[in-house]
Amino acid sequence: MSVTSEIQSLFDRFIAAWNRNDAGGCAGEFAADGSLINPFGQEARGSKAIAGLYAEYFATMLKGTTTTFTSSNIRELGSLALIDGTQTVDNLRAPDGSVAPALVIHLVTLAQRSGDRWQFLDARAYAFMTIPQG
């Protein structure tokens, strides 16, 4: 199996957990000492903290959401891989209960081969800003 398909399997497992709104399943794709910084700047270090952050959001603003991921670049560095891509979150609810537009974010992850599978070491999600005119 190629590194690209192995990395895709990691994302497939993560996406499946997200689409079930399974915080523990999402966190389970991170190394025990992994870290996550979400697009709001909140940081979680370690599986327990990552699961807690996902649980908080799946109970509120991410409740019922689904996600997809498209990689734009995978740079393999031995047992590590740096992955750039786009994550789209659908079915977000606005405060009035209506469906909000999809949230499209850039996601950079560092993954590590652990035995026969890959895990996330670090994930950084962010949105691009518009260049100010003037």
Indicate the pLDDT class of residue 93, thresholds 50, 70 and 90: confident
pLDDT of 115 > 80? The answer is: yes
DSSP 16: H
The range of the structural domain enclosing residue 105 comes to 3-126
Note the pLDDT of residue 33: 97
From CA 9, how far away is CA 18, in angstroms rounded?
Answer: 14
Indicate the pLDDT class of residue 129, thresholds 50, 70 and 90: confident
Q: Tell me, yes or no, whether 34 lies in a domain.
A: yes
Q: Tell me, yes or no, whether 119 lies in a domain.
A: yes
User: What percentage of the chain exceeds 70 in pLDDT?
Assistant: 100
Structural domain count, the chain: 1
From CA 50, how far away is CA 23, in angstroms rounded?
Answer: 8
User: How does strand 103-114 pair with strand 117-126?
Assistant: antiparallel
Q: Tell me, yes or no, whether 53 lies in a domain.
A: yes
Q: Tell me, yes or no, whether 38 lies in a domain.
A: yes
* Domain containing residue 45: CATH number: 3.10.450.50
DSSP-assigned letters across all residues of 30-79: EEEEEEEE-TTS-EEESHHHHHHHHHHHHTTTTTT-EEEEEEEEEEEETT
What mean pLDDT comes out for the span 91-98? 85
Structure token pair of residue 110 = 């560092």
pLDDT (tens digit per residue) in 22-59: 999 999 999 999 999 999 899 999 999 999 999 999 99
